[in-house]
Amino acid sequence: MATEAPGAEIGFSAPAFSLPATDGRVHTLGELAGARGTVLAFICNHCPYVQAMLPRFMREAQELAAIGVSVVGINSNDATAYPEDSFQRMKKLAPGLPFPYLYDESQSVARAYGAVCTPDFFGFDAGLKLRYRGRIDGARKDAGAAGMPRDLYDAMKMIADTGEGPTTQLASIGCSIKWRAANE
């Protein structure tokens, strides 16, 4: 069953993190932040919503990088219950991605941000204040129609240009984050 991301407190400061990435390094939020904005996308390998939007997200990441907005993918799913989301499987997917793919094994980063689904997009301004929490576009699990509005790209372009996000933000929908049992 699909999960919809809730609204978020626009203006909240991005919590700092330090996470391992598929490139073999540990990255911090500070080093990954873009000069004009940053997108943190909670994604995973197995979710059909992520799989469907990934080609579009890769395009958006490349075009956003060209305007000084960095994009980061974070996988917070429980890999014990969902082995396709393991760090080893992330490494197999990563070579084609135009952004760092980080592993939040403890799930503490997802909890700090209030992420609930994959994909779940958080768009920050140059000062790492939240200005956008919404969808990539209106396609959901489909490829999407030509000329469809590019919600994430348009929001981040606006944030890069003005420091402010759009007043209308439509929620992302996807698979729920796969949380570990509380007793683990």
Return per-residue pLDDT of the chain as tens, 184 residues: 577 776 668 999 999 999 999 999 999 999 999 999 999 999 999 999 999 999 999 999 999 999 999 999 999 999 999 999 999 999 999 999 999 999 999 999 999 999 999 999 999 999 999 999 999 998 877 766 777 889 999 999 999 999 999 999 999 999 999 999 864 5
136 and 56 in contact (C-beta within 8 Å)?
Answer: yes
Cβ atoms of residues 100 and 73 within 8 Å = yes
Q: What is the DSSP letter of 79?
A: T
All domains of the chain in start order, with CATH? 3-176 (3.40.30.10)
Say how far residue 45 (Cα) sits from the centre of its chain: 13
Tokens found for residue 57: 């997200």
Three-class SS of residue 160? Answer: helix
> Distance between CA atoms of 83 and 45, rounded to whole angstroms?
10
